[in-house]
Structure 1
Amino acid sequence: MIYCLNPSCEKPQNPDGAHFCQSCGMELIPQLRNRYRIIQPLGGGGFGRTFLAEDEDKLNEDCVVKQLAPQVQGTSALHKATELFQEEARRLQQLGEHRQIPTLYAYFRDDNYLYLVQQFIQGQTLREELRQQGLFGEEKIWELLHELLPVLKFVHEHQVIHRDIKPENLIRRFSEDGRKDLVLIDFGVAKQLTVTSLDHTGTVIGSYGYAPMEQMKHGSAYPASDLFSLGVTCFHLLTGIHPSGLYMEHGYGWVMNWRQFLKSPISPKLDQVLDKLLQKDIEPRYQSADEVLQDLHQKRQLEVIPPDMSATRSPSQLPSLSSVFPRFPTTVIQPSSQWKKSLLIGGLITLFGLGGLVSYWQLFGKTSVLTGHSGEVNSLAFNLKGTTLASGSDDKTIKIWNFNRRKEIRTLKGHKGIIYCVAISRNGQTLVSGSQDNTIKVWNLKTGQEIRTLKGHSGLINSVAISPDGEKIASGSYDNTIKVWNLKTGQEIRTFEGHTGAVLSVAMSPDNHKLASASADRTIKVWNLNTGKVILNLKGHEGDVNALAISPNGQLLVSGSDDKTVQVWDLNTGREIRTFEGYAADVSAIAFNPDGETIASGSDDGIVKILNLSTGQEITSFNAHTSEVFAVAFSPDGKTLVSGSKDKTIKIWPVP
């Protein structure tokens, strides 16, 4: 396969021997500099895309190629992105002699794009380790500090501040000699510490929750700034709580009460070290990695926690729910013997921190997580009664769940690619699914039998919707079109053309007259469902529009975008009514509560929010998942919210 390096190409994979991309028409480059062959993408961000590649001059040794492909507009923003990319190359060249920092192999320009090539680190990030192995114990936190602090000392001695210490940027390398070094990666936002930088604030860059106040508010970065991020990283690994959610809810106030989120006790020694790392103000914080190391050597004596400390705390010892979630009243629960037994065997988690509200619900015998998919959960849909939930996944299957019992009923197989979307008809008899295999399948929901397959799109199907009257299906595709089908016969009725980018979401109005579509071209179109003519063309988002939902009364439209906002529109006039800001990542999922008064959103930072449409206020947010949230859905009674994620789980939340 030859990978197209055009950043805007929608289907970059091409067969060997091809000279031009079959999707975008750009000339293909089999090998960068006649040396580096792109194998597959590893990810991307605001400034660049990263690929796994082979170095032909090193016997096809794996390496990492990063391409500058900034998703920014304007000369100033592009200049800043280029500057940061060049700085990353300089930092890697300067620091790559350290065993725990990737080595820079090359930095060059090719076909108007900048590239850097660096050492490939074989292993898993600490975030992946957290997801697979569970919360870190105290001993692993001590090991992390002892492993990483010398690296930070080396970096800071070279007058560099990393500015983005977090579990995703720490890789546990698997070496042939059996060593498992901790490697610090991604110097893309690193800052050179100079006299000038000490006197002048710079660009505000960092990850919400991990970066300290001086960095996020003033653009200033010091060795103590990285140490704050190290403290937050330890906190995340100890508790499983994503700090971005705490930051969005409480600002930097949460660090003053970080102990209340611990799931199990830690020793006074570790408590003191973490508390000094997590100081909101820079002055009382550790000022250098060497200072922390000296403190560790003085304080670190392996202690055995007394049995009464290592045991699970009783309910009376737990902080009240209202102290952690002030919006919710605390109900005093008389623990039953069964509940106490569950605590002793670790069946329940504590009533605070990540998923604390859900744990509160678990006390009444309700499970909060549905597991079974072996891939990302991309889509969710309820039947009208709320008794059945359908989920579509990267594992190429659809699962049907008895929602009351929280049990899987059956698994539907038939698609040859990832399932991106599912929808259930109002009569509860039919399920529709769309896939990476460019097809739509219609299923009998009760029996699980496939009824028919709809073919016609030339790109993957990212969204499907069934009209309220149960007569039509709408499908949005990466071929930039929307197709409308007869649900009963499978016959294609009409194709809507007009978007210049992939169609990422479609929604139908309750009166069966309007169809809304969202696209990677950053626009929303409202169509006459019966004629195929555009009624409204809505512009306002500055990024891909990923998700749409229409209110139960058909008067409002809400949209979520890569520009980290949710916008509310008048579906009749196209007037923008309100914008919800404050998201730390792309908004990928949107749903209306059946009461029409609130909406739910899911974003790439793993957070689910519930928003009040009338007041424009955030009602609550859940630190829902350890990875991106791709789907949210309210139960028909509006009392329950479900979310699906890249972390392969479906989580269930009571609606306040």
Structure 2
Amino acid sequence: MLCCLNPDCQDPLNPDGNKFCQYCDTPLISLLRGHYRVIKLLSDEGGFGRTYLAEDVDKLNEQCVVKQLAPKIQEASVLRKAVELFKEEAKRLQQLGEHNQIPTLLAYFEQDNYLYLVQQFIDGQNLLKELQQQGTFSESKIREVLLSLLPVLKFIHDRGVIHRDIKPQNIIRRQSDGQLVLIDFGASKQLSATVMMKTGTAIGSHGYTPIEQMQDGKAYPASDLFGLGATCFHLLTGIRPSQLWMEQGFSWVTSWRKYLHNSGSGIASRLKLGKVLDKLLKTDIQKRYQSASEVLSDLISVSPPSAVLTTLISTQAQSLTTSRSASTTTLQLGARLRNQLIISAAIVVLAIAGVWYSLSRPVAITKSSPSQPVKTTSENSDQPDTLKGHSSDVNSVTFSPDGQMLVTGSDDLTIKLWNLTTKQEIRTFKGHSSYIYAIAISPDGQTIASGSFDKTIKLWNLNTKEEIRTLKGHSDSVASVAFSPDGKLLASSSLDKTIKLWNLQTNKEIRTFTGHSGGVASIAFSPDGLTLASGSYDKTIKLWQIANGKEIRTLTGHLDLVSSIAFSPDGQQLASGSKDKTIKLWNLNTGKEIRTLTGHDDKVTSVAYIPKGGYSKNPDSVIVASGSNDNTIKLWDTATGREIRTLKKDSGYVYAIAISPDGRTLASGGSADNIIKIWHP
């Protein structure tokens, strides 16, 4: 069959071989732009065009979605602006499509006075159909939806895009992997926005659209969050928000809990997500959540760590990075999710997102005060140098073995290599389809390893930026990667609760370490390469024998998830950082806790030992550095447990820290303005 592309045609489907539409007599286009065969009408955009299913004959009839933009507006100035906006939006969609949970833009063009977008077809069914077939969602399933979509929203919002129409119909569960995909970003909505003030047309769907969008035509990140809250309500209760809106206006959001009693979703008073939904559904935008990261942070706090772990990246939490609790959610898990849950994620993150910008543009790095000379380590100043170039949270930082370069990984799906002498970006590595939570450099300085929310580890040639290979095997986000001291092995940990050991000569998985009951946020090799340590969401640290994969012992004492671990330079001690706001020092010979370091006001996201003599006037002292969501980095004397110094950040979470090989420079990455700071305390 072949579709008529006249947007006014009431019966566009025609038999093959027809030259003219049998309903409206419009000439039929057999191949749009020479290779898209339009075969089915999917939806009518009501005055702004239609959406069709098509086949790309140049790609073995691969299915795709064709959106036709045909605004019924006569004013020339408005039409010109619409065309301009369409082109700008298409470029934006091309960037957004780099995210694994957003359809890829395949083409955009004008033909026969109509504008067209061609996007990837997502094979699956939307959440409205899932609701109709399977019944109302449980609280855990709603948590999964939030952890999966919040990082996507963060992603688009960070790139200056507001979706404007979040609802179950625009969320598809992809059949191939079960992930939720956000669709219908549209140029049609952008086009509507252009003419809204002239036509009085509101954008969005009644019940899902907040008051500022309905009345004033203005949309913000918080506007999408209202739509997400209304979507969760619909899935929990089976009641359409549009129905309540028609009967009550926006007053229904103040009493939404009463509809739970008749939905089979559980007792309203037991709904742990209640406060989160309350804030998502605030009619006053000032009282509503302002960012996806904020939601992820609260979501992690009311969710069982195991639940966040499982949903969060399994189904995406894509967010791991939930605000670092999730972003670390994932990673440290996530920057956005990672922030509280470490994943985030994460994102959440969610952090956690998603999304939103130019991921690969190289940017020259300068100090925040270019007129001042770069400070040397001898100046012992707490004023850091600043590296700017990432377009989203920086989740991981690591120095090259010679200390001359820094490698950073970000939620913007890129890895960047920096020259620390010139403060310039050397190159950008791209290839992951989701947030990058972990990076490591091989001992010979030739290879970068990266772990991502997309469940893969990639190996890169540091000098050429070429991808060497991709290691697959984890069933959830990869939170940490580490090279063995001899560079022959790579270890990876995941929210799937496992650690994997890889032979880098054969590129094969050697073994899988199992035993943690929660996601594994951090791993580290001992200096002699014989032992592997792992820190987990289950609040424990485990020590493993590399040779046989057997567990040596479990270290317990933290009151919340363990986000980071590090061996001392002599291998006799281990430091661990936790969401319980403390750092613990452990004697590895006895398995006993040496002491607890307290002083941070929020989750400790990263710990690292500083070699003797670094940052201290005492050449024999060993210092531990810790980064936290309280926006600070602290230095501690391990012998006394005394806090030596606090390095203040301007704002934002600290997701990762790293120490140069000579122990005289500290690098930190986080959520503040997407920058990396280089400290010379």
Matches within 5 A, 1:321-470: 347=370, 368-470=385-487
Distance 2:487 2:574 in 1: 21
Structure 1 position 527 matched with structure 2 position 554: no
Structure 1 position 489 matched with structure 2 position 512: no
TM-score by length of 1: 0.52
Structure 2 CA distance for partners of 1:38 and 1:461, relative to 1, 3 Å: closer
SS in structure 2 at match of 1:61:
coil
Deviation at 1:502, TM superposition (A): 0.5
Instruction: Say whether the 8 Å CA contact 2:384–2:679 is kept in structure 1.
Output: no
Match of 1:597 in 2: 622
What is the CA deviation profile of residues 252-303 of structure 1, one whole-angstrom value per residue up to 9, with x for unaligned ones? Answer: xxxxxxxxxxxxxxxxxxxxxxxxxxxxxxxxxxxxxxxxxxxxxxxxxxxx
In the alignment, residue 645 of structure 2 is paired with which amino acid? T
What is the CA deviation profile of residues 349-388 of structure 1, one whole-angstrom value per residue up to 9, with x for unaligned ones? Answer: 9x9xxx999997789xx97100100011000111111011
Distance 1:388 1:519 in 2: 30
Match of 2:666 in 1: 641
Match of 2:521 in 1: 504
What is the CA deviation profile of residues 15-55 of structure 1, one whole-angstrom value per residue up to 9, with x for unaligned ones? Answer: 735579x9xxx9468889xxx99994499xxxxxxxx9869
Match of 1:61 in 2: 209
In the alignment, residue 601 of structure 1 is paired with which amino acid? S
Structure 1 position 651 matched with structure 2 position 674: no
Match of 2:119 in 1: none
TM-score by length of 2: 0.50
Instruction: Say whether the 8 Å CA contact 2:434–2:452 is kept in structure 1.
Output: yes
Structure 1 position 110 matched with structure 2 position 268: yes
Distance 1:37 1:426 in 2: 40
Structure 2 CA distance for partners of 1:360 and 1:624, relative to 1, 3 Å: farther
What is the CA deviation profile of residues 489-518 of structure 1, one whole-angstrom value per residue up to 9, with x for unaligned ones? Answer: 211000001111111000000111100001
In the alignment, residue 626 of structure 2 is paired with which amino acid? S
Structure 2 CA distance for partners of 1:638 and 1:126, relative to 1, 3 Å: farther
Distance 1:602 1:424 in 2: 21
Matches within 5 A, 1:292-331: none
Matches within 5 A, 1:158-169: none
Instruction: Say whether the 8 Å CA contact 2:375–2:381 is kept in structure 1.
Output: no
How many positions carry a matched residue from both structures? Answer: 381
Distance 2:534 2:560 in 1: 15
Distance 1:31 1:560 in 2: 30
Deviation at 1:525, TM superposition (A): 0.5
In the alignment, residue 625 of structure 2 is paired with which amino acid? A
Distance 1:360 1:408 in 2: 24
Structure 2 CA distance for partners of 1:649 and 1:346, relative to 1, 3 Å: closer
Instruction: Say whether the 8 Å CA contact 1:64–1:119 is kept in structure 2.
Output: no
Instruction: Say whether the 8 Å CA contact 1:628–1:646 is kept in structure 2.
Output: yes
Instruction: Say whether the 8 Å CA contact 1:53–1:64 is kept in structure 2.
Output: yes
Match of 1:205 in 2: none
Structure 2 CA distance for partners of 1:111 and 1:459, relative to 1, 3 Å: farther
SS in structure 1 at match of 2:532:
strand
Distance 1:59 1:404 in 2: 55
Structure 1 position 119 matched with structure 2 position 145: no
Instruction: Say whether the 8 Å CA contact 2:282–2:288 is kept in structure 1.
Output: no
Distance 1:38 1:54 in 2: 16
CA RMSD of aligned residues (A): 4.5
Distance 2:456 2:147 in 1: 29
Match of 2:553 in 1: 536
Structure 2 CA distance for partners of 1:18 and 1:514, relative to 1, 3 Å: farther
Deviation at 1:572, TM superposition (A): 2.3
Structure 2 CA distance for partners of 1:120 and 1:583, relative to 1, 3 Å: farther
Structure 2 CA distance for partners of 1:360 and 1:120, relative to 1, 3 Å: farther
Instruction: Say whether the 8 Å CA contact 1:625–1:645 is kept in structure 2.
Output: no
Distance 1:37 1:448 in 2: 35
In the alignment, residue 282 of structure 2 is paired with which amino acid? Q
Distance 2:415 2:608 in 1: 20
Structure 2 CA distance for partners of 1:53 and 1:412, relative to 1, 3 Å: closer
Instruction: Say whether the 8 Å CA contact 1:598–1:611 is kept in structure 2.
Output: yes
In the alignment, residue 450 of structure 2 is paired with which amino acid? S
Structure 2 CA distance for partners of 1:490 and 1:37, relative to 1, 3 Å: closer
What residue ranges of structure 2 are gaps of 5+ in the alignment? 1-100, 102-123, 153-164, 169-203, 211-225, 231-251, 259-266, 302-365, 613-620
Distance 1:515 1:628 in 2: 28
Instruction: Say whether the 8 Å CA contact 1:549–1:558 is kept in structure 2.
Output: yes
Instruction: Say whether the 8 Å CA contact 2:635–2:646 is kept in structure 1.
Output: yes
In the alignment, residue 270 of structure 2 is paired with which amino acid? N
SS in structure 2 at match of 1:459:
coil
Matches within 5 A, 1:613-652: 613-647=638-672, 648-652=674-678
Higher RCO (C-alpha under 8 Å, 6+ residues apart): 2
What is the CA deviation profile of residues 60-90 of structure 1, one whole-angstrom value per residue up to 9, with x for unaligned ones? Answer: 23438999xxxxxxxxxxxxxxxxxxxxxxx
